[in-house]
Structure 1
Amino acid sequence: MKKIFQFSLIAGLVMTPFFANAHVKWFTNVTPQKETIENILSPLFMGLALTAAIVLAMLTLIIPRTAQWGKVKKLDDWLSGFRKYSRHILKYGTAAALIIQATNGTLFAPEFHLTNTIAMILTWIAIGFLLIPHHISTKAGAVILFGLFVYVTLQNGIFHMLDYGYYVAIIGVLLVGSTKLEQVGFPFLYLGTGLSLCWVAVEKWVYPSMSLDIVANHGVPTFGFAPAAFVVMAAFIEFVVGYLLVVGILNRVVGFVVTVIFITTTMLFGMTEVIGHFMIHIVLIIFIIEGVSFYNPPIKLHKTKADQFVFVFLNFIFVLATFILVYYRFA
């Protein structure tokens, strides 16, 4: 029964709408129209929120048991053997992502075009530093990258750049390498990436017209659901994935499933998808390798299963409500 439940969960995630993790700004020219809060908090939304909270809370009871399965242990041991390469994967993966972006005239995302000559030169200097196998060079590249992120933020606004907050986390990991703070790097990466995914998901609820335009014009399969309902469900999947990363549940499985989803989106959206999400692929590979070996997730603050169940249920509702209210007010 437990195996069937987990298989169903994973299958459901894999069959999630292809654009669940896509940045809708990249693929539509529709003028954003903010939905009313009454329409956002529809019966479908409320029902899905309650269902998601219950399922996530149940995972606190199920996942520890599945971790004891022989095959799961063998897989964990095998993946753990690659942990020594994690920081190298992040460093050179970041350099590769920047190369892909710069050669296509963009920085951080397809919507941010490199029109400033100085910014372009600094981007290539940062790439050069990241390609040098020395921690001092890595820190120099990270400092330049942070300056470029601040530059893009000043041009586009902080709430827009929260979509790409995982870059701040990546820069943080690169900066603390080979220092006393090295151990806090990857937990910060988990947190930053999870919060970014949650933030991007809310966009689909607050500005559904953009997502609906993508569904209509890009041939996105809705699996029999009405497009409006489909968009709501797709956003919930993305929000749940981000939340799972933050609270420390099912990280390796989430990393694998989301990577599969990102790969499938490339078939729909092509090179734009590659440019925008290559860095996310690198981060998810690290999640698959690392698991939660270094991370003391918030759920561990509660010792009993009952406390963990209640914490995840209530915390999910609280986080969901907070993100919607903040996004609706400021974005």
Structure 2
Amino acid sequence: MRIVEPQGFPAGTRPGARADRGLVAPFLSAAALAACCLCLPSRAMAHVKWFAPFDVAEPPMPISAVLSGRFPLVFAGFALLMAAGFLLDRLAAASPRGGALARRGGEEVEERLLRAGLGAFFVALFTAGGAILTPELKTDAAWPAWLQLGIAASMFSPRTCVLGAAGILALYGYGAALYGAFHLADYPVFLGLAAYMALTSCGTGRPRRLRMPILQASLCASLMWAAVEKWAYPQWTFPLLEERPWLLFGVLPSDFMVVAGFVEFAFAFHMLTGFALSRVGILALGAIFGLAILDFGKLDAIGHLPILATMAAMFVHGPTPLQRRLHEIRRGLLAEAHRAGLAFAAAVCVFVSAYYGLQRAEHGGGHRPEARGGRVAVATAAAPASR
């Protein structure tokens, strides 16, 4: 009997059991996806800094306050969900359909998707003017717009993509100089895109094979960082929730933000560590971002275009070598599911610690505008006035 790669199950698995799993796994994955799409707070995925006032120098909610209430219970629930998701992924990987989902896609298609998406994004920034990389990163300087047009032009050929990568890094550095490293830590995906485009100009070989793992890690890091923001600064989103009370489903806004943060973090974790169902997670999260665009409009569409293009490329590419290695480990399923839950919990702790640590390192953990030479005023004024 031919065994579908990768062999995520221990040797000696009964063929009958494998066939049963092949029948059951697709239905389980479809049911899980349907449940997620029905329950997720889709419009909470919009980047709050683009639509409401904020101040990154404002001290975040104390850790003790974050960990109070229902946070520990939701944390434990999502850790168990990630462990169960790992088991489901293994079941899907053992089925013929799951094996098809895990096959690698075409690099040429993914590259063209990214180049086209980035080209369109930087043309939109050039046309709008006044933005560095994202809507809230404002500038009065004229040169970023012309650099953005140059980056868009560099996407026409793989050989010139390295010039676009240099331009993206220049804009990122300029944004960090104006707004601070803590603010720009929201967007490591741009660093991943710059690395992808630089490696695209390297011809063939191992450097090009590193493009997607780097880009995928940078996108997941961006989503995880944004998830922590929902816990550290929930008050930034409260005005939007007041305008859209139907999103709460009768839940308190504070509890809603806890769940919304875990939803985003869980999706990012799954896209980084999943295997056979990683494309299902990408598709579901892409649908959520699409629903957010319907609510928030053109600004949200342009701002999220690099993320959507990256997710489209990830969908085409399929699992990376890192994901394959994670799921080729021959250990007991329950032991591996336990490890997956612990890894999710550890990732949450690492990102929360990094978020609070960087905010304190740059802003002192307190609100002292006089010590920052005007950066607070720039960051606060960057967001549009509350609607």
When normalised by structure 1's length, the TM-score is 0.90
Q: Secondary structure at the match of 1:190?
A: helix
The structure-2 alpha-carbon separation of the partners of 1:102 and 1:29, relative to structure 1 and needing over 3 Å to count, comes to same
> Percentage identity across aligned positions?
23
- Residue pairs, 1:74-223, within 5 angstroms: 80=104, 82-105=106-129, 106-131=131-156, 133=157, 135-177=158-200, 178-180=203-205, 181-219=207-245, 221-223=247-249
Relative to structure 2, which stretch is displaced further, 304-313 or 40-49? 304-313
Q: How far, CA to CA, are the matches of 1:174 and 1:30 in structure 2?
A: 32
1:289 positional shift: 1.2
| Amino acid of the structure 1 residue aligned with 2:222 | S
How far apart, in 1, do the equivalents of 2:213 and 2:67 lie? Answer: 32
Q: Does 2:279 align with 1:252?
A: yes
* Number of residue pairs the alignment of both structures matches: 327
Distance, in Å, in 2 between the alignment partners of 1:311 and 1:258 is 24
Change (3 A) 1:280 1:125: same
Q: Which residue of 2 aligns with 1:321?
A: 349
Match of 2:302 among 256, 264, 275: 275
After superposition, give the CA deviation of every residue in 1:187-215 in whole Å (9 maximum; x if it has no partner): 11111111110001100100111122211
AA aligned opposite 1:208: P
Displacement of 1:33 after TM fit? 5.8
The alignment's TM-score, normalised by the length of structure 2, stands at 0.78
Gaps of 5+ in 2: 1-23, 360-387
Alignment partner of 1:110: what SS? Answer: coil
- What's the offset of the Cα at 1:123? 1.5
Bigger drift between 89-98 and 304-313 goes to 304-313
1:251 Cα deviation (Å)?
Answer: 1.8
Shift of 1:326: 2.1
Asked if structure 2 preserves the Cα contact closer than 8 Å seen for 1:214 and 1:220, the reply is no
Amino acid at match of 1:14: C
Shift of 1:98: 1.1
Q: Deviations over 1:67-94 (max 9, x none)?
A: 34444555666xx555431111111211
Aligned match for 2:71, one of 28, 34, 45: 45
**Is the Cα contact below 8 Å between 1:194 and 1:244 reproduced in 2?**
no
Question: How far apart are the structure 2 equivalents of 1:60 and 1:224?
Answer: 31
Decide which moves more: 25-34 or 163-172. 25-34
Task: Name the structure where helix makes up a greater proportion of residues.
Answer: 1
**1:133-163 Cα deviation digits (max 9, x unpaired):** 2x32111121122112111111111121121
- Residue 163 of structure 1 aligns to a residue in which SS? coil
Determine the C-alpha separation between the residues in 1 that align with 2:117 and 2:174: 22
Segments of structure 1 that go 5 or more residues without pairing to the other structure are: none
C-alpha RMSD of the superposition: 2.3
Separation (CA, whole Å) in 2 of partners of 1:46 and 1:298: 31
CA shift, 1:245, in A, is 2.3
- Which is greater in Rg? 2
User: 1:30 touches 1:209 (CA, 8 Å); kept in 2?
Assistant: no
Q: Distance in 2 between matches of 1:72 and 1:247?
A: 16
